[in-house]
Amino acid sequence: MGGEASIRNLVGRLGGRTRVRPAAVVGFIVTLVTGWAGAAAGAAPYPTLSTTAKYAVLADYETGAVLYEKSGDAPMFPSSMTKIMTAYLLEEQLQDGRVKLEDRFTVSQNAWKRGGPGTDGSTMHLKPGGSPSIEELFRGIVVTSGNDAAIAVAEGLSQSVEQFVTLMNNKATDLGLMGTRFANATGYPTQDHYTTARDLAVLAWHVIHDYPQYYRYFGETEFTYNQQAQKNRNPLLFVSESGADGLKTGHTEKAGYGLVASALRDGRRLILVVNGLATKQALSIESQKILNWGFREFDNITVVEAGQVIDFVPVWLGNVARVGLTVSRPIKVTVPRNSRDEISSVIRYHAPYRAPMAAGAEVANLTLRLPGGQEFTYPVVTASPVDSANFLSRLWQQTWYRMVEFIKMPEPGKLSSERKSP
């Protein structure tokens, strides 16, 4: 799970000696990671939560930390949450310029028959032969959850639903959704149509991150088409203090009630996936409870700023005796509030390194251990370039190292944990 942090110390190893440094600190965006293992002995009590949802994942958008999960990798029917992928593929083609929001697709008999008003699913109330704009169809998918809109888009982009499903599965593979397989564009439950809560959270992240210009449509509370006004089924959009601003619900008798939601409070965004709830009321209550818990119990902290020097390593045959270590991008972590003193870190490197060295050469690794027991490793690079020493200085250093039976160390970026420093 996630939370707040500061590093107690940065530890560097050189020549078998351990050096403890005052708190320096680290931040980095990671992909969705496994949930927290629980607090270590003697640590502050770790935040706990329970839910009646059969499946759940709560993740921090910026760090990727999973704050809570319940059966996060178990296969489940996504119902209309499937349409998030349908919408994502439409966004991709809009971004690439292959279609425009003002373009129009013709509604087929198939879209009307399988997703129109006479069916038992949600519908945009399209008419066969009609030509709604792509923007209207987009709204019909993400606001009213219209099955007819999803089929019309699938056919409009790929000639057939079957071809579109191939695109869906290819994109799922591209995004790393390894527990997901699609059989249709609407979410109709079949045995070969499934996903996981974690995969839906990853997909939601991509929707928000990859095409932010279209994300606002997911947060619209109502859409009127063909004189039919329909409200968004996402209950969190109607709770002002929730901070929720979009994504998608899903429901079938087989899967129960589900929701993929994102909420932004005080500049911090969380992504929530729940599924398998028994009623609409339970969906609303459990979703609010989990989000409130995540915002209340956890926070993000930057542990190390990009360019911040966190340690030094010795250099051989250089114009300076040592070079600073840093990270190329900020490292940010999510940890429980009031637990920053429980973060520990270790820098591992093998030195000295031979000059010349360019700035940004990867020469070490920084491992953070968070309060819940998770460990993350980040690359550490040189903070500045190092030129070769002049002839007399090189001669002196080579003579000195021969005297102490110096064993040549690897070049920058060629770390070897099996080779020990002199």
Q: Is residue 362 part of a domain?
A: yes
Q: How far apart are CA 148 and CA 306, in angstroms?
A: 48
Our measurement of the distance from residue 260's CA atom to the centroid of its chain's CA atoms, rounded to an integer in Å, reads 14
Instruction: Give the separation between CA 107 and CA 136, rounded to whole angstroms.
Output: 12
Is the same domain home to 335 and 254? no
The Cα 386–Cα 320 span in angstroms is 7
**How confident is residue 395, by pLDDT bands cut at 50, 70 and 90?**
low
- Asked whether the predicted pLDDT for residue 39 surpasses 80, the reply is no
Higher pLDDT, 43 or 162: 162
Rounded to the nearest 5 percent, the helix, strand and coil shares of the chain are 30, 30, 40
* Helices 147-158 and 161-174: angle between axes, nearest 10 degrees: 90
Residues 214 and 150 in one domain: yes
Domain limit, last residue, from 236, 255, 277 = 277
Residues in the chain: 422
Mean pLDDT check: name the lowest of 64-78, 117-131, 175-189, 397-411: 397-411
- CATH code for the domain of 127: 3.40.710.10
Q: Which of 82, 224, 100, 232 is nearest to 161 (CA)?
A: 82
Question: Could you tell me the pLDDT band of residue 345, with boundaries at 50, 70 and 90?
Answer: confident
Residue 402 lies in a domain: no
Same domain, 233 and 268: yes
Per-residue DSSP letters for 44-62? PPPP----S-SEEEEEETT
Is 41 inside a domain boundary? no
Instruction: Yes or no: say if 132 and 104 are a contact pair by the CB < 8 Å rule.
Output: yes
**349 assigned to some structural domain:** yes
Is residue 138's pLDDT more than 80?
yes
Residue 401 has pLDDT above 60, yes or no: no
Whether the predicted pLDDT of 231 surpasses 80 = yes
339 and 375 part of one domain: yes
Q: Is residue 217 within 8 Å of 142, Cβ to Cβ?
A: yes
CATH code for the domain of 317: 2.60.410.10
- Sequence-ordered alpha helix ranges (H) in 269-372: 280-297
C-alpha distances in angstroms, 180 versus 173, 177, 208? 8, 6, 19
Q: Is residue 284 part of a domain?
A: no
Cite the DSSP H helix spans in 159-254.
Answer: 161-174, 197-210
Q: Within this chain, do residues 20 and 59 fall inside the same structural domain, yes or no?
A: no
Judge if 132 and 16 occupy the same domain. no
DSSP secondary structure letter of residue 7: E
What are the CA-CA distances from residue 230 to residues 110, 279, 280, 330 (Å)? 23, 20, 17, 44
User: Are 24 and 59 in a shared domain?
Assistant: no
Residue 18 half-sphere exposure toward CB, CA atoms < 13 A: 6
At residue 389, the pLDDT reads 61
Rg (CA), the chain: 27
Cis previous bond, 352, omega within 30? yes
Q: Give the chain's domain count.
A: 2
Closest to 335 measured CA to CA, from 302, 310, 366:
302
Does 207 lie in the same domain as 99? yes
pLDDT recorded at residue 339 = 84
Residues of the chain above pLDDT 70, percent:
80
Q: Cβ atoms within 10 A of the Cβ of 192, count?
A: 8
**174-221 tens-digit pLDDT:** 999 999 999 999 999 999 999 999 999 999 999 999 999 999 999 999
pLDDT at residue 417 greater than cutoff 60: no
Residues serving a catalytic function are 80, 83, 145
pLDDT, average across residues 141-160: 97
User: Which segments of 180-227 are extended strands (E)?
Assistant: 222-225
Distance, in Å, from the CA atom of 173 to the CA atom of 168, rounded to the nearest integer, reads 9
Q: Name the token pair of 104.
A: 């129009």
> Are 213 and 262 members of one domain?
yes
**Higher pLDDT, residue 42 or 349:** 349
Assigned domain for 132 exists: yes
- CA dist 342 to 239, 333, 371, 398, Å? 35, 13, 5, 43
Are 88 and 140 in the same domain?
yes
Q: Looking at residue 53, what is its pLDDT? A: 98
315 - beta bridge partners? Answer: 353
Residue 167 lies in a domain: yes
- Name the domain boundary from 255, 277, 299: 277
Pick the residue with more confidence: 97 or 317?
97
Give the end of a domain, one of 277, 293, 327: 277
CB 149 within 8 A of CB 126: yes
Q: pTM, whole model, 2 decimals?
A: 0.82
Of the candidates 123, 133, 126, the residue with the CA atom closest to the CA atom of residue 108:
126
Tokens standing for 167? 């695109």
* Residue 397, domain member (yes or no): no
Range of the structural domain that residue 353 is part of: 7-29+307-389
Comparing 380 with 46, the larger pLDDT belongs to 380
Give start and end residues of each alpha helix (H) in 102-146: 109-115, 134-142
Same domain? 267 vs 374? no
* Inter-residue contact 67 to 270 (CB < 8 Å): yes
**Cα torsion through 109, 114, 117, 118, rounded to 10:** 100
In this structure, the answer to whether residues 264 and 342 fall within a common structural domain is no
